[in-house]
């Protein structure tokens, strides 16, 4: 007996976000159905990976992670080139040195770093600040100007600083990351506020603030799922592709940080840590995540192997 495949009829579409300039562009979003349901709608773009680059040498990263970037961690340009060599779709430059607790780098210094990285690689860029809202507004304003016309993805805009960052993106032709702390209502409101400043909705990526596997992953998952169903049923203010800062969360977990000696029962640290990052990312891809910001090139490789299978058409 023939099986009737139940298909949901969605009325709307996720916005397509384009990062970078021709011929080096990355497109995300554009889906007309839930993740990987190829039989139900169009999934024109696959989830992509951004590898993280810091503008200062990170402290406390486990050796299994730093070993992948031996010799380049104190040089963002060399680090970015290394990421390009590894084949990252995007490079996520994190201006951590701007943090008052770190080097408190000036906006001009950060802009110079961003410019140097942008000139050294062809890979489209994501540039995010250190997370201190007031400082990020100043830093991203300078970075946006320095990278004018490069169509980068800049962030992270929050309720406290979205005006400056939105204005920068409009004037200098960039896209914006709108961050909200695990709050779908706030995510929607922030998108409204940004679009009310006349930045087009298809130039926004939502950052829902994800947690790693074992650290609240399911909260972000359900928010992403609900937002996506809203988007597909006509909620234009939630129809943005989602960016997930997976690496920073996964590598904070004790499952990733504990060495093989410290936690012998948990098995080899390298394998375990990379699995932690990979599984966090594949889970969020299943919830509709479009851009995964990862740290380890091996996680990127394993994530891509998973996505390649998930992107095989399953048309009934």
Partner 1 sequence: MLLIGERINGMFKDIREAILNRDPEPVRYWAKRQFERCAAFLDINTGPTVDAKDQPAVMEWLVKIAQETVDLPCCLDSTNPEAIEAGLAVHKGKALINSTTADQWKMDIYMPMAAKYGAAIIGLAMNEKGVPKSAADRAALAMEIVVNADANGIPMEDLFIDPLVLPCNVGQEHGPEVLEALRQIKMLADPPPKTTMGLSNVSQRCADRHLLNRTFLVMSMAAGLDSAIVDLEDDALLDAVAAANILLNKDIYCDSFTKTFRQR
25 part of the interface to partner 1, by CB under 8 A: no
Stretches 55-63, 75-83, 143-151, 234-242: which one binds partner 1 (CB under 8 A)?
234-242
236 part of the interface to partner 1, by CB under 8 A: yes
Nearest distance in Å: CB 230, partner 1: 5
- Contacts with partner 1, 153-192, as mask; x by CB under 8 A: -------------------------------xxx-xx--x
Residue reference for tokens 């040195």: 97
For 305, residues 6+ apart whose C-beta sits below 8 A from its C-beta are none
| Helix boundaries (H) for the chain | 63-66, 76-86, 107-120, 133-146, 162-172, 184-196, 217-232, 246-250, 254-257, 269-286, 297-310
Q: Please compute Rg for the chain using Cα positions.
A: 19
Nearest distance in Å: CB 196, partner 1: 8
CA dist., res. 107 & res. 96, Å (int): 12
Q: Are 290 and 242 within 8 A, CB to CB?
A: yes
96 part of the interface to partner 1, by CB under 8 A: no
Nearest distance in Å: CB 192, partner 1: 5
Burial class from Cβ neighbours inside 10 Å (0-12, 13-18, 19+) for residue 184 reads middle
Stretches 98-106, 231-239, 250-258, 297-305: which one binds partner 1 (CB under 8 A)?
231-239
38 part of the interface to partner 1, by CB under 8 A: no
Residue reference for tokens 């940080």: 257
Stretches 87-95, 106-114, 162-170, 236-244: which one binds partner 1 (CB under 8 A)?
236-244
206 part of the interface to partner 1, by CB under 8 A: no
* Residue choice 50, 154, 237, 275 for contact with partner 1 (CB under 8 A): 237
Give whichever of 158 and 174 is closer to partner 1, judged by the CB atom. 158
Burial class from Cβ neighbours inside 10 Å (0-12, 13-18, 19+) for residue 230 reads middle
116 part of the interface to partner 1, by CB under 8 A: no
- Residue count at the site for partner 1 (CB under 8 A)? 13
Give whichever of 167 and 184 is closer to partner 1, judged by the CB atom. 184
Stretches 66-74, 118-126, 223-231, 249-257: which one binds partner 1 (CB under 8 A)?
223-231
For 289, residues 6+ apart whose C-beta sits below 8 A from its C-beta are 47, 210, 224, 242, 243, 244, 281
227 part of the interface to partner 1, by CB under 8 A: yes
Q: Compute how many other C-beta atoms are within 10 angstroms of the C-beta atom of residue 22.
A: 7
Q: Residues interacting with partner 1, by CB under 8 A? A: 184-186, 188-189, 192, 226-227, 230, 235-238
């Amino acid at each position: 007996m023939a099986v009737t495949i139940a298909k949901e009829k969605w009325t709307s579409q996720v916005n397509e976000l384009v990062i970078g300039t021709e011929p080096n562009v990355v497109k995300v979003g554009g889906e007309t159905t839930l993740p990987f349901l190829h039989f139900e709608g169009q999934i024109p773009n696959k989830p992509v990976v951004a590898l993280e680059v810091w503008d200062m040498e990170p402290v406390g990263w486990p050796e299994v992670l730093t070993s992948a970037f031996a010799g380049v961690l104190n040089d963002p340009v060399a680090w970015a080139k290394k990421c390009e060599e590894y084949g990252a779709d995007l490079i996520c430059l994190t201006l951590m040195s701007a943090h008052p607790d770190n080097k408190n780098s000036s906006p001009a210094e950060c802009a110079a770093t961003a410019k140097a990285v942008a000139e050294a690689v062809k890979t489209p860029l994501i540039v995010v600040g250190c997370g201190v809202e007031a400082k990020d507004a100043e830093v991203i304003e300078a970075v946006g100007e320095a990278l004018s016309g490069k169509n980068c993805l800049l962030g992270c805009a929050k309720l406290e600083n979205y005006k400056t960052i939105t204005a920068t993106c409009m004037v200098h032709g960039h896209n914006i990351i709108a961050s909200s702390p695990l709050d779908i209502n706030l995510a929607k409101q922030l998108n409204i506020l940004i679009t009310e400043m006349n930045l087009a909705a298809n130039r926004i990526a939502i950052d829902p603030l994800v947690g790693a596997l074992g650290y609240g992953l399911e909260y972000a998952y359900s928010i992403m799922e609900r937002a996506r169903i809203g988007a597909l049923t006509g909620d234009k203010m939630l129809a943005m592709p989602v960016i997930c800062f997976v690496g920073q969360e996964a590598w904070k977990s004790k499952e990733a940080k504990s060495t093989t000696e410290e936690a012998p029962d948990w098995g080899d640290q390298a394998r375990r840590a990379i699995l932690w990052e990979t599984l966090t990312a594949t889970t969020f891809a299943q919830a509709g995540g479009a851009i995964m910001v990862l740290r380890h090139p091996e996680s990127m490789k394993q994530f891509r192997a998973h996505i390649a299978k998930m992107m095989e058409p399953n048309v009934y």
